[in-house]
């Protein structure tokens, strides 16, 4: 089956630093990648959708300058949380899909900002 | 507004027993309905995916049903095991280009020995 790998699985860093999370589709070419955020006991909330080679489309309320998304190839997308603060602490999950196909999810990144 | 509601919010059952989780949705346009299992601190793992024309799909001890007329789905788990303890999320997909997913808030299932 389709495999999506996310790295790192856990990050702990100081307030003010920037954190990069990678999302890779290992066995298929993902035309579209999605980034979600999940707070404890809540459902996944879509942050942004990115198509390879074009700018990401952000959901309402998500700051594009805060959460930088790059989707430079069909197998890799990155999410950079810039100048992270404690309120950015969350579980970030990516997913990837080929055109017209269901999304496959990564295993998530637990981000903790001290 | 697209919504997916799940019940119950949480459920505790004895190992070996069966259970059924419910999902009601108001999502348009409808493309597909999936059930995911999410272990704590992990990403969602797909259990079943059903399109409009399918009304039941099985994956081992998991059986999902879909009634597109009443916009209801259920996930039945038979002979539960301790490893079934997780959150089960009902997700409805809409659109046929860039897929848009509407997530339920999940049912937290705990299996006790």
Answer whether residue A8 shows pLDDT above 60.
yes
Radius of gyration of chain A (CA): 13
- Mutate one of A3, A102, A104 to test the B interface: name it (highest B CB count within 10 A): A102
Q: Is A105 in the B-facing interface, judged by CB distances under 8 Å?
A: yes
CA atoms within a 13 Å half-sphere pointing along the CA-CB vector of A40: 4
Do residue A102 and residue B43 have CB atoms under 8 angstroms apart?
no
pLDDT range class, residue B97, cuts 50, 70, 90: low
Confidence category of residue B110, pLDDT binned at 50, 70, 90: very high
Q: How large is the average pLDDT for residues A22-35?
A: 92
pLDDT of B98 strictly over 80 = no
Contact A105 B99 (CB under 8 A): no
Shortest Cα–Cα distance, B36 to chain A (Å): 10
User: Among A44, A71, A96, A111, which would you mutate to test the B interface (most chain B Cβ atoms within 10 Å of its Cβ)?
Assistant: A44
Give me the percent of chain A exceeding a pLDDT of 90. 72
Give residue-wise pLDDT tens across range A51-94. 888 889 999 999 999 999 998 888 999 999 999 999 999 999 99
What does the buried/exposed string (b/e) look like for A79-107 if buried means 16 or more CB atoms within 10 Å of the residue's CB? bebeebeeebbbbbbbbbbbeeebbbbbb
Per CB-CB distance under 8 Å, the chain A contacts of B97 are 100
Whether A108 and B42 lie within 8 Å, measured CB to CB: yes
Residue A97 φ then ψ, to 5°: -150, 150
Of A4, A43, A102, the CB nearest to B103: A43
Q: Smallest Cα–Cα separation from A23: which of A48, A45, A6? A: A6
Spatial separation of the C-alpha atoms in residues A48 and B45, rounded to whole Å: 20
Q: How far apart are CA B77 and CA A44, in angstroms?
A: 23
Greater model confidence, B2 or B84 = B84
Structure confidence by residue, pLDDT tens digits, B12-59:
999 999 999 999 999 888 889 999 999 988 999 999 999 988 999 999
Question: Which chain A positions have a beta carbon within 8 Å of B86's beta carbon?
Answer: none
Q: What are phi and psi of B84, to 5 degrees?
A: -80, -10
Q: Which of A64, A61, A66, A107 is nearest to A84 (CA)?
A: A66
Amino acid B1: pLDDT? 81
Tell me, what DSSP letter sits at residue B70? T
When pLDDT is averaged across residues B1-9 and rounded to a whole number, the result is 93
Max CA-CA distance within chain A?
40
Instruction: Kindly determine whether residue A107 and residue B93, on different chains, have CB atoms separated by under 8 Å.
Output: no
């Amino acid at each position: 089956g389709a495999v999506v790998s996310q790295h790192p699985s856990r990050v702990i860093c100081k307030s003010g630093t920037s954190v990069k999370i990678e999302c890779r589709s290992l066995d298929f070419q993902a035309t579209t990648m999605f980034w979600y955020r999940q707070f404890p006991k809540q459902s996944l909330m879509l942050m942004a959708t990115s198509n390879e080679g074009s700018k990401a489309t952000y959901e309402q309320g998500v700051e594009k300058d805060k959460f930088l998304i790059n989707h430079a190839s069909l197998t890799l997308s990155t999410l950079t949380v810039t100048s992270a603060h404690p309120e950015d602490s969350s579980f970030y999950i990516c997913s990837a899909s080929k055109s017209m196909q269901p999304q496959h999810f990564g295993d998530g990144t637990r981000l903790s900002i001290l | 507004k697209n919504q997916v509601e799940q019940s119950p919010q949480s459920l505790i059952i004895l190992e070996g027993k069966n259970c059924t989780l419910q999902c009601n949705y108001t999502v348009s346009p409808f493309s597909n309905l999936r059930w995911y299992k999410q272990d704590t601190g992990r990403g969602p793992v797909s259990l079943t995916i059903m399109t409009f024309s399918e009304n039941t799909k099985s994956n081992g001890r998991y059986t999902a049903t879909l009634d597109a007329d009443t916009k209801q789905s259920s996930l039945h788990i038979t002979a539960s095991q301790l490893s079934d303890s997780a959150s089960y999320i009902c997700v409805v997909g809409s659109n046929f280009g860039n897929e848009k997913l509407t997530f339920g808030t999940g049912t937290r299932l705990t299996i006790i020995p």
